[in-house]
Amino acid sequence: MTPNPEVPNPYVGGDRSREVSDPGSRLPREEWWRTLDELADDPAFRDRLYNEFPSEIEAIADPVARRTFLKLMGASMALAGVTACTRQPAEKIVPYVRQPEEIVPGRPLFYATAMPLGGVVTGLLVESHEGRPTKIEGNPLHPGSLGASDVFAQAAVLGLYDPDRSQTLTNLGDIRPWSAFLGTIRAALSAQQPLKGAGLRLLTESVSSPTLAAQIHEALERFPAAKWHQWDPASHDNARAGAKLAFGEYLDAQYLLDGADIIVALDADFLACGPGALRYARDFSARRRPERADRMNRLYAFESMPTSTGSRADHRLPLAPREIERTAHALAAAIGIRPADSATALGVSPALQKTLTAVAKDLQAHRGASLVIAGDGQPPAVHALAHAMNDALGNVGRTVVYTSTVEAAPVDQAQSLRDLVADMNAGRVDLLLIVGGNPAYTAPADLKIADAMAKVATRVHLSLYDDETSALCHWQIPEAHFLEAWSDGRAYDGTVSIIQPLIAPLYGGKSAHELLAAMSDRPERSGYDIVREHWQRERAGGQTAGTGASRPAPPRPEFDQDWRRWLHDGVVPDTKLAAKTVTVRTDAIARFEPGANRATQSGVEVCFRNDPSTLDGRFANNGWLQELPKPISRLTWDNAVFVSPAMAERLKFDNTPSWQGGEHGQILASVVEIRYRGRTVKGPVFPLPGHPDNCATIHLGYGRTRAGHVGTGAGFNANAIRTSDALWSGAGGEIVTTGDTFSLACTQYHHLMEGRGMVRAVTRDEFEKNPRSIHEGHEEPARTMTLYPEHQYEGYKWGMSIDVNACIGCNACVVGCQAENNIPVIGKDQVLRGREMHWIRVDSYYRGPADQPETYFQPVPCMHCENAPCEPVCPVGATVHSDEGLNDMVYNRCVGTRYCSNNCPYKVRRFNFLLYQDWNTPSLKLMRNPDVSVRSRGVMEKCTYCVQRINAAKIDAEKADRRVADGEIKTACQQACPADAIIFGDLNDPKSRVAQLQAETRNYSLLADLNTRPRTTYLAAVRNVNPELGD
Amino acid sequence: MKARSSYGLIAEFEDPTALVSATHRAYQAGYRRMDAYSPFPIEELAEALGSHHSKLPLIVLIGGLCGGIGGYALQFWAATMAYPLNVGGKPLHSWPAFIPITFECTILVAALSAVFGMLALNGLPMPYHPVFNVARFALASRNRFFLCIESTDPRFDPDDTRKFLNALGPREVTSVAD
Amino acid sequence: MAEHFVPVEDPPSAGLGTPPVIAPGYTFGTVTDKISAIVLTRKTPRGWYVGFGIAFLLTMVLLVSVSYLLVEGIGIWGNNQPVGWAFEITNFVWWIGIGHAGTLISAILLLLRQTWRTSINRFAEAMTLFAVACAGLFPALHTGRPWLDYWLLPYPNTMGIWPQFRSPIMWDVFAVSTYATVSFLFWFVGLLPDLATLRDRSQSKVGRFVYGLLAMGWRGSARHWHQYDTAYLLLAGLATPLVVSVHTVVSFDFAVAIVPGWHTTIFPPYFVAGAIYSGFAMVLTLAIPIRAVYGLEDFITTRHLENMAKVMLVTGLIVAYGYTVEAFIAWYSGNAYEGFMIWNRITGPYRSLYWALLFCNVLTPQVLWFRRVRKYAPGLFVVSLIVNVGMWLERFVIVVTSLHRDFLPSSWGMYRPTIWDWGTYVGTIGLFVALLLLFLRFLPMISIFEMRTILPAAKVDEDVREDLRVI
C-alpha cells in the first residue's frame, strides 16, 4: 500500500512549518501497519502512550520546563490511569431512564447525548460500563434518530479511544501546557485590540451549536473587524444557494416522507446521507410494506453514482450530473413551471422525455402527496427547481416544510474559504484560529491553502488528530471528543440537544467552547459552565437562540429541573424550528438556463462524493469504518475511480479477482490517471454496474498523509483535483490508463445470483395478483422429510426477520454489531486474503442489465438453523444448539478445525486465523463490551443473536417473574437499523412482531432447499413499478 | 538328580523333512516334553508334536466383542447421559453416526488381543532360554532344524534318549546345559 | 553367543524348476545372508548418505514451518473464507491413501495366498507406517489451537465434557489411530523372527543386544510358530476390513458434509480405490530404485513389478469410473449446485489442475495395458510418479474447488498456497524419506523367514506328510 504520488505535500511552501515535526514519518511507509495489533507494536506510538517519564525530562533544570514536566507527569499518570480506571466528569450528568443514580457494577448506565456532524446533531444513547462508554445507540426521543443510528455514530466509540488521537498540546512539535498557550493567545489578542481584530480570523466547520455561535458572536463584538469563516467539505452549499434562489433567503427544507406517495430524487441520496437521513429512512421504509399496498410509495431516482436511495428506487435512471440538471429542467417543464417549448432545447433523449412525462403525470396525480428532492451534488438551480416543483404540486406544508436554517450562520462556504485564502495571501491575517476541521487536506486544490497559511504569523489548530492542518500550524490543541465534552447542537429539524460527556477527556483535550472562552474575558470557564450559562440566559431571555448578552441572567429556580430533564431526555422541548410560509420566485426560475454554470460540457464528467465510510476524511483513522465494505461496491480500505462497465470495456480497463482471496478478497484493478482542469490524480478503477457512462465518481476522504496509523496512505486524494468553483462535479475530465495495477480489498465481487434466488423480488402487480408468486421456482422440503423426530422448543424460541424490501444497505448494522461484539479489525492485508471478521454482512445482488440493474441488499447474519449443518461436524461440540434454538458458539471449547465453517452454506462463520484482537493497547481495552468475551487466535466465531442482551433481558424478566416482552430484546443490528428492516423476537409468542412477519406470504428462507430450517428468514422485495413505464 | 543338571538333549537336522519325521518318530516313541526349532514355520511340525488347536482365535473374538460393545457404550453414554446436547437437531442417540467408531474399536482391541495373546501364549518375551547355550543353535534362525527332548520328560534317560536321537540321523546331538 | 561359530553351506537345492517369485539357486542360508548383510555387514552405499542428507534437510524445513505455524497461527497458510481446508487436508488424504498399499499387500494378498507379496510386503508396511505418520501431522497441526488437540480424545475430565461423536473428524481420530496401531503391530509381528536372525548373526555387541531385546527371545519353537501363524492370519483378517474402513471414513469427512462436490455417496469406494492406486504407485516409486541400488533384482523380480502394475491399472480404472459418475450424477441429478460445481471444475479458475489430474490418473495408466511397459522398470517408475502427482491433484481438486465456490455467490473466493503451505508439504516428504532410509539401513527390508518358506527346499516330502496323516 504505497501512498499516491499525486497527493500534494502539505509542507510545500510552508516555510515555518518545516520546523514542525512529523512523528508519523518515523516509520517507513511500507512498514506502516494496518491492524490494531501492530499499532501497539509501533515504537513511536508506544513512547507516546507508555512513556511515564517523557523525553523532556532533561530540561528539568529550567523552571518553566519543570512546570511542563509536572504537567506531563500528570498527563502520563492520567494515561496510566486509563489502563486501570476512568474518571467521571466532575459535573453532574444524568443517566437515562429509571436507573439507580449510583453505578451498580456490571449493570450499564445509558446517557443521552448527541453527535455533531455536518452542521446538525443526532441524538444518541450511550451505554456506559463503570464509566466507560462502550456502545452507542440512537435516542428514541430524538426526532433525527428515533432510536436509529448511522455508521459514524456507531463507530464514534472507536474514535474516542483511538490511540492515534492528538494527545498533547504542542507548539511546533514541543509539548506545552495549556497555560503557555493561553499566554500566547492573550498576547496576540491584545495586539489585535487596537486593530479591532482586523488581523484575526476564525475558521470553523458548519456550526449548529447555539452556545458556540453565541460565543463567536461575543468574540466578534469584542473584535468587530475580525472575520468568521466556515468551511465544511461535506457542505450543503448548493442547497443553501438553491434556497436563496428560490425564496430569496437561506431556508432549510425538511421532508415528511410518511406523507409522500410519489418521490423523485434528483441525485439525492436522502436515505443514507445528509441531515435527517435516519429519520427519512425510517419514514420511507415504513411505507414500503406491500401488505399495506395502498400506502406503498413509489420512488423515482435519477442519479449518477449508485447509492442506497437509487437501489431502493422503483425506477432508477443512471445519468451524469449534468444530464440530471437537464432532466430537472425537463421535468419542471413537464409539470409546467417553465416554458414547455424549451423542453426540446434541453437536449434530453426521447426515451428520457417519455419517462419524464410519465413521472410528471404520476406526480400531478398525487398533488400534495408527492415530493421532489434535489441532492447536494446538484447545482443551486436544480434545488430551486425542486422547491418550485414542490410548490407547484402543492406539497409545501404537506410533504416538505421550510424553516429557518439549523446552522447558526449559513454562508456560501466555498466563497467564505476563498475570502479567507485571499486575505491570508494579502497578508491581512496575523492570527488564524482553526476550530475543528482539516482545511489543509479538505480545501479544494485551486485555493492552495497551504501556501496562503504560510503567510499567517500565528496559526492555531484545535482538532482530534495531529493532522495535515496541524502540520501547518504553530499550535496544535488536542480537541475533546464529543463524548468527552459539554456542548449542544440542533437536529435536522432544529430540535436542540445538550451534548453531555460520558467520560473526562482521556488526553486532556479542550472543546471549541473552551478555546473560544480563551478569547473572552473569562478564559478559564469550563465547557459545562459555558453551555449551562448560555441556556440559563436563553431561558431567561426567551427563545432567541444564537444571540446572547454577555452578562449571565439570574438563574430561574425551575431551571435546574429543566436542565436535568433535557440531559435525561437528550432533547430540549419546543426547540423545533417553526415552519415558514414561503413564496417561490417562479418568474426567476422560469428563466433558468440549464448548464449555465458549466464552463465546458465536453469530456468525462468527474463527480466528487463524500465517502460512505470516511466521509470527508475525518473518519480516515477509524479502523471499523475503513474495514467496512462500502454499499454495493463492497470495497474496503480504499477509494476508487468508479466508472460504468461499458466505459471500462471501452478504455480497456482490467479488473480481475486474484488467486489470493479472489472475488472475496483481492481485486487487481488497473490504475488510471484522471486529468482534470490541469491537475492529475492516479487511482485504481472500479467498474460499477448502474454507473452512468462517460462519467467517473471519486470519493473524498482518502489519500490522507497524517491521518494516523490506520488511515495514512489509504487510497488517493480526490481533493488534489477538486476545484472550488465545481465542488461536486465538473466536465472536461480525461481518464487514461497507466498500465499499473493496484490490489483492492473487496469483500464481494460477484453480484449475480446465478439463479439461486437468494433475493426474491416481484413487482407490486405480480404480488397483488398472486402473493405466492414469490415462492415460484423455489422448493422447500416438507418438515416431515426426516428420519429423526422433530425437536421441540418450549419456552422461548428466538428468531429474526429481515426485510429485503426495507434494507437500504447503510451498513449501520455491521458497525453496530462490530461495536457490540468486540469484533476485531484485521487490516487490508487480511481482507485481501478474504478473512474479514464481520458477523453480519450486507450482500448486494444485481438483477437485469449491467448498465441499469436492479440492486438488492441482503444483510446476512447467522441463520441459527434448526438443522444447523455446522453442529454435527464439530468434533468437540464447540457449536451446539441451546434449548431456545440459538446456535451457540463455545469459544473456549473450540480447537479450530474450521469444519463448521466449511459446512455452513451461508458462510457466516468467521475464524481468527491470526491473533486479530489487540491485547495491548490500553485505550482499546476500555472500549470493549465487558459482556462479550474477546476471542483469541485459532477460534471460530459468529453471530450470537446478541446472546448477552437476551440473557440480560431474561434475568430481568425472571426477577420480575414474567416472560420477556416482545421488543424488549433488540439485537445490536436491529437497534442500529434506521429502516426497521431487522426484527428479532420470540417465535413461540404468536403476537410477537417477528412471528407475525414470518407468517407473512413474503417470508422465505435463504437456501430453503437445503432443509437447514433457518430461524433467520427474509421478506421478499416488492417493487412498486409504474405500470406505464413497465418493469 | 544328575539329569536335572542338563536341560535336555538337542539334535540338529539339515532340512525340514528330516526334522518333521524325527519329531514324529520321537512322538511315537512316547516323548512328550520336547520341542522342535526351525527358521520358518512348518505346519506339519505342530501335528507331529501333537499340538493341534490354538486358543488364540477365541481370545481375539472376545477382545473384538469387548472393543465393539465398549466403543458403542462409550458413545451412547456420552451422547445421551453424560453430555446430552442438541446437535444440529439430531436426536441424542443418533446411532448411525456411532457405527464407524464402534467398528474401529472392535478392530483395535481385537488386533491388540491377537498380538499380546500370541506373545502371552508363547511366554514371550523370554530373554533367557537354555537352548541358547548351544552354540550351533544360532543357526536355528538361519538354515538349521533342531529337535530338543527335555530332561523333564518321564521317558528321558541321558543315554537311551541320546541313542534314540542318534538313530534319527541328525547332524549331531548335543546336551543342553540348564 | 556363537564365538566358535562357523557358517556351514548346504548344497544348492537345484533341479526343482524355477520358483515363481525368486531367482533360482537360492538356499535358506544364501537368502538369509544376502538380506541380513544389507543391515549387518555390507557397506552403506554412498547413495544412502546423499539421499538421507537431502531428506534430513527437508525435515528441517518441516521443523521450521511447523514452529512458525505454532508461533503465528493458521493465518500463515493461504486458508481463508470460504476455503477453510486446503493444502493441509489435501496432504492428509494423500498420505493416508499412500499408506494403504502396505497393509493391503501384507493382509489381503496374504489371505489371497499371493506368494509374490513376500518380497515386498516388509518395506511396503514400513512405508505405510511412515506415510500414516506424515498424514497424522496435518490434522493435528491444522487446528487453530493445536495444543488443545487432545480434546478430541474421550477422556474423563473434571468439566464432564465429552467429544461429539457424530463428527466425521472423531471417526477420523479413531480410524487413523487404529490404523496406525494395527499397521505397527502387523509390521512388528512380521519382524519378530527376522530380528532373531539379526540377533544371531550380528557381529557387534550393540547389535546383538538391541536386536536381541527387540526379538524378545524368539527361538523358532514349533509351538511358537503355530501360535504365530494363527496370530498373523488373524491380524491379516482384521487389517483387511480395517484398511477398507479407513479411507471410507476419510471420505466421510467430505461425503457427510453438505458442500457440493463433497456430498456424494460414491466417495467411499472411490476413495478406497484411489488409496490403493496411489499406494501401489508409491510402492513402485520406492521399490524400483531400491532394488537397483541394493541389487535385489533376484527377490523383487519383474513379476512383482508387473503384478503391481496390473493392480494400478485396475484401481486406476475404478478411479476413472468415479470421476465419470461424479460428473454424470451432477448432470443427471439436475441439482443446480452440483451442476455448477462440476462445471466450475472443468471451466473454472482451477480447471488446469482438473485437466492435469485427468491426464495423470486416467490417461497415463492406460499404457499399462502393454506387457512391455509393465515389464520395463524405468517406464513403470515414470508412470508411478505421474500417478502420485495425479492423486495429489485429485485431493486438491476435491477439497479446494468444492469449497471456493459453494452456495452463496457473495462468499465465493479463491485460495492460493503460501510458502508455508509448501514448506509443510515438502517437509513431510523429507520426513517420510528419512524414516524410510533409516528403516532400510537398520532393519531387513525383505521378510527373511517368509523368503525361506517360498524356497522349494522348504517343502516337507510327501511320504512324511502321509505317515503324519496316518495318526
- Residue range A693-731, pLDDT digits in tens: 889 999 999 999 998 889 888 999 999 999 988 888 888
CA distance A697 to chain B (A): 47
Of C151, C172, C400, C410, which to mutate for an interface test with A (greatest number of A Cβ within 10 Å)?
C410
Q: Flag if A867 and B88 touch (Cβ within 8 Å).
A: yes
pLDDT at C49: 92
Q: Flag if A906 and C145 touch (Cβ within 8 Å).
A: no
Contacting residues of A for B86, CB less than 8 Å apart: 791, 880-883
Of A985, A947, A929, A937, give the one whose Cα is nearest residue A136. Answer: A929
pLDDT at C3: 37
Lowest mean per-residue pLDDT among A332-336, A594-598, C467-471: A594-598
Q: Flag if A869 and C258 touch (Cβ within 8 Å).
A: yes
Q: Flag if B86 and A881 touch (Cβ within 8 Å).
A: yes
Task: Give C260's pLDDT tier (boundaries 50, 70, 90).
Answer: very high
Instruction: Please give the Cα distance from A169 to A155 (Å, whole number).
Output: 25
**Reduced to 3 states, what is the DSSP secondary structure of residue B2?**
coil
pLDDT at C95: 94
pLDDT at A85: 47
Task: Give A42's pLDDT tier (boundaries 50, 70, 90).
Answer: low
Contacting residues of B for C449, CB less than 8 Å apart: 39-41
Average pLDDT in chain A = 84
pLDDT at A44: 52
pLDDT at A611: 93
pLDDT tens column, A302-356: 999 999 999 999 999 999 888 888 888 888 888 888 776 555 566 778 888 888 8
Task: Give A87's pLDDT tier (boundaries 50, 70, 90).
Answer: low
**8 A C-beta contact, residue B140 and residue C225:** no
**B15 vs C394, higher pLDDT:** C394
Regarding beta strands A695-699 and A641-643, do their DSSP bridges make them parallel or antiparallel, or are they unpaired?
antiparallel
Arithmetic mean of pLDDT, A40-51: 49
Arithmetic mean of pLDDT, A380-397: 90
**C252 vs C307, higher pLDDT:** C252
The count of CB pairs under 8 A between chains A and C is 199
Arithmetic mean of pLDDT, B23-37: 85
- The enclosing H or E element of C423 equals helix C419-442
In chain A, how long is the greatest CA-to-CA distance? Answer: 93
**Reduced to 3 states, what is the DSSP secondary structure of residue A719?**
helix
Lowest mean per-residue pLDDT among A94-103, A383-392, A671-680, B52-61: A94-103
- Could you tell me the three cell numbers for A413? 462556504
**Letter for the amino acid at A380?**
P
pLDDT at A886: 93
With a cut of 60, say whether residue A230 has pLDDT above it.
yes
Peptide bond preceding B125 in cis form (omega within 30 of 0): yes
Residue C26: closest CA among chain B residues belongs to which residue? B143
Arithmetic mean of pLDDT, A877-883: 92
Distances, alpha carbon C316 to alpha carbons A590, C132, C310, C383, C405, in Å: 83, 22, 10, 12, 28
With a cut of 60, say whether residue C462 has pLDDT above it.
yes
- The enclosing H or E element of C250 equals helix C222-255
CA distance A672 to chain B (A): 50
Q: Flag if C10 and B14 touch (Cβ within 8 Å).
A: yes
String of b and e for C454-470 (b: at least 16 CB within 10 Å)?
Answer: bbbbbebeeebbeebee
pLDDT tens column, B87-99: 988 889 989 999 9
CB of B110 within 8 Å of a chain C CB? The answer is yes
Of C223, C453, C463, which to mutate for an interface test with B (greatest number of B Cβ within 10 Å)?
C223
Nearest to A876 among C152, C337, C411 (CB): C152
With a cut of 50, say whether residue B12 has pLDDT above it.
yes
pLDDT tens column, A462-503: 999 999 999 999 999 999 999 999 999 999 999 999 999 988
Contacting residues of C for B45, CB less than 8 Å apart: 222, 225-226
Write down how long chain A is.
Answer: 1031
pLDDT at A599: 46
Cβ within 8 Å of C, A 623-662? 657-662
Whole-number percent of chain A with pLDDT over 90: 46
Of A751, A758, A833, A935, which to mutate for an interface test with C (greatest number of C Cβ within 10 Å)?
A833
CA distance C139 to chain B (A): 18
Contacting residues of A for C398, CB less than 8 Å apart: none
Cβ within 8 Å of B, C 418-457? 449-450, 452-453, 457
Paired strand residues for A315 = A300
Arithmetic mean of pLDDT, C264-280: 90
With a cut of 70, say whether residue A242 has pLDDT above it.
yes
Q: Flag if B142 and C197 touch (Cβ within 8 Å).
A: yes
CB of A893 within 8 Å of a chain C CB? The answer is yes
Of C233, C460, C467, which to mutate for an interface test with B (greatest number of B Cβ within 10 Å)?
C460
With a CB cutoff of 8 Å and minimum separation 6, the contacts of A955 are none
pLDDT tens column, C24-48: 777 888 888 888 888 888 888 888 8
**Reduced to 3 states, what is the DSSP secondary structure of residue A852?**
coil
Calculated CA dihedral for residues C24, C28, C29, C35, nearest 10 degrees: 80
Of A679, A831, A829, A815, give the one whose Cα is nearest residue A749. Answer: A831
pLDDT at A663: 87
Paired strand residues for B176 = B8
Of C53, C107, C89, give the one whose Cα is nearest residue C279. Answer: C107
Arithmetic mean of pLDDT, C317-343: 91
pLDDT tens column, A636-686: 999 999 999 998 888 888 888 888 888 888 999 999 999 998 899 999 999
Q: How far is CA A554 from the centre of its chain?
A: 41
- Could you tell me the three cell numbers for A973? 443490528
Average pLDDT in chain C = 87
B144: alpha, beta or left? (left if phi > 0; alpha if psi -120 to 50)? beta
CA distance B9 to chain C (A): 15
Peptide bond preceding A89 in cis form (omega within 30 of 0): no
Of B142, B146, B171, which to mutate for an interface test with C (greatest number of C Cβ within 10 Å)?
B142
pTM: 0.87
Arithmetic mean of pLDDT, A754-770: 88
Contacting residues of C for B36, CB less than 8 Å apart: 221-222
Contacting residues of B for C7, CB less than 8 Å apart: 142
Distances, alpha carbon A1001 to alpha carbons A287, A289, A312, A990, in Å: 18, 12, 21, 16
Q: Look up residue A550 and give its DSSP letter.
A: S
Calculated CA dihedral for residues A1004, A1005, A1007, A1010, nearest 10 degrees: -120
**Reduced to 3 states, what is the DSSP secondary structure of residue C334?**
coil
With a CB cutoff of 8 Å and minimum separation 6, the contacts of A986 are A796, A797, A798, A799, A963, A964, A966, A992, A994, A995
Whole-number percent of chain A with pLDDT over 70: 87
Instruction: Please give the Cα distance from A2 to A680 (Å, whole number).
Output: 17
**Reduced to 3 states, what is the DSSP secondary structure of residue A914?**
coil
Could you count the other beta carbons within 10 Å of the beta carbon of residue A15? 10
Q: Flag if C151 and A753 touch (Cβ within 8 Å).
A: no
Runs of H (alpha helix) within A541-608: 559-569, 586-590
Neighbours of chain C (3+ CB pairs under 8 A): A, B
Runs of H (alpha helix) within A704-857: 764-769, 812-820, 828-832
Arithmetic mean of pLDDT, A106-120: 88
With a CB cutoff of 8 Å and minimum separation 6, the contacts of A737 are A651, A652, A653, A670, A671, A672, A673, A685
Q: Look up residue C26 and give its DSSP letter.
A: -
Peptide bond preceding A594 in cis form (omega within 30 of 0): no
Q: Flag if A834 and C414 touch (Cβ within 8 Å).
A: yes
Question: How many C-alpha atoms does A666 have within 13 Å on its Cβ side?
Answer: 20
CA distance C96 to chain A (A): 18
pLDDT at A919: 87
pLDDT at C469: 63
Neighbours of chain B (3+ CB pairs under 8 A): A, C
Instruction: Please give the Cα distance from C208 to C252 (Å, whole number).
Output: 47
Arithmetic mean of pLDDT, A183-194: 88
Instruction: Please give the Cα distance from C68 to C386 (Å, whole number).
Output: 32
With a cut of 60, say whether residue A36 has pLDDT above it.
no
Extended beta strands in A409-560, E state:
431-435, 458-463, 475-478, 487-490, 496-499
Nearest to C80 among A835, A845, A1010 (CB): A835
pLDDT tens column, A829-852: 999 999 999 999 999 999 888 888
Task: Give C384's pLDDT tier (boundaries 50, 70, 90).
Answer: very high
